[in-house]
Amino acid sequence: YYLLPGHEDTWSRVLASFTDITRQKQAEERLKAYQGCLEEKVARRTRQLDMTSKDLSREIERRKESQEKLKQHYQTEKHLRQELEGQIKQRVEFTRALVHELKTPLTPLISSCETLASHASDTTVKHMAETILAGGKAINQRIDELMDVARGEIGMLKMHFHQCDLKKVAMETGEYMSSAFKTKKQSFNIEAPEPSISVNIDSKRIKQVIINLLDNAYKYTPRGGRVVLRVYKKADHGVVEVEDNGLGVSDIVQKRLFNSTCATGPDSYAVKGMGLGLVLSKMLVDLHGGKIWVKSTGKGSTFGFSLPIREAE
């Protein structure tokens, strides 16, 4: 209560109320601080986004450049591939023409020698005709091998798969070759313990491989030597092996035998023939999903190959 000046006779009354606003002030301070922090965060994030968008633009540029380079590489590769295909085509055409040129005079030569060998009464003439005939046939086979290897190298070797018995194929081939071993007084045996081995193969081509292995055993085993043709099952594979007790094959030569550069490589002096037969044999076995190998330690050697036992699809 108090007296107002000029109204000293009247008590005046003032009613006051006090509120503690400390908390409100603190809350306001906190809000301010939070807002400041938020602004700082937004500014930082904006800076980051700015950088990211710059990085992104740089990345897009980089990718564009890579894409351009890739396009150029693709064009170069396409050009090279077309060039290579052209060269392969030319090579195939050339080999085909060469084979034709070589074979044309051989055909009458072989048939004339066959007639001469069967009709000649004079033993010397007969012997000479037989020698020329054998030579002509060998050249003919070499030309066929050359053509097959050329075809195989570019994936043009045609195969005719059919279901058959590997044991039968091997035995027929062995019997066909058996007379050759007699001429060198070599013993020749066939070991085939299984009743049958069912495989899906091109039997003509597999016969070709077996003939090559037997022919090598015959050539590189001296007179009176021993050759064995073996055919058996091993797990899910049919195996054909030709073992001889002939000259054997050194480790260096073994590594190169199935390689097409064998005949022209630095160790080619160690290889006696042209070295096409085994290259072709490997190609043919590979096309059957099989494996071919040689084992030779010291005297003699064993050449073998395996083919998956597979039923016809």
Using CA atoms, how far apart are residues 272 and 246, in angstroms rounded to an integer?
13
The reply on whether position 143 binds ligand ADP by CB under 6 A is: no
Please check whether residue 275 is in contact with residue 257, taking contact to mean a CB–CB distance below 8 angstroms: yes
The reply on whether position 274 binds ligand ADP by CB under 6 A is: yes
The reply on whether position 208 binds ligand ADP by CB under 6 A is: no
Name the one range near ligand ADP by CB under 6 A: 26-34, 59-67, 197-205, 246-254.
246-254
The reply on whether position 272 binds ligand ADP by CB under 6 A is: yes
**Strand pairing report for 291-295 and 187-191:** unpaired
Q: Is 213 helix (H, G, I), strand (E, B) or coil?
A: helix
Nearer to ligand ADP, 275 or 304 (CB): 275
Nearer to ligand ADP, 6 or 298 (CB): 298
Residues 162-201: x/- map of binding to ligand ADP (CB under 6 A)? ----------------------------------------
Nearer to ligand ADP, 207 or 310 (CB): 207
Using CA atoms, how far apart are residues 59 and 45, in angstroms rounded to an integer?
20
The distance of closest approach from Cβ of residue 186 to ligand ADP in the complex, given in angstroms and rounded to an integer, is 12
Residue-by-residue DSSP string for 140-191: HHHHHHHHHHHHHHTT------EEEEHHHHHHHHHHHHHHHHHHTT-EEEEE
Using CA atoms, how far apart are residues 231 and 25, in angstroms rounded to an integer?
102
Nearer to ligand ADP, 174 or 246 (CB): 246
The reply on whether position 293 binds ligand ADP by CB under 6 A is: no
Among 203, 208, 212, 245, binds ligand ADP (CB under 6 A): 212
Among 177, 214, 257, 284, binds ligand ADP (CB under 6 A): 257
Name the one range near ligand ADP by CB under 6 A: 3-11, 123-131, 132-140, 213-221.
213-221
With a CB cutoff of 8 Å and minimum separation 6, the contacts of 233 are 194, 197, 239, 309
The reply on whether position 113 binds ligand ADP by CB under 6 A is: no
Specify which residues 2 forms β-bridges with. Answer: 12
- Distance spanning both ends of the chain, measured CA to CA: 118
Please check whether residue 273 is in contact with residue 266, taking contact to mean a CB–CB distance below 8 angstroms: no
| Binding footprint of ligand ADP on the chain (CB under 6 A) | 212, 216-217, 220, 244, 246-249, 257, 271-279, 301
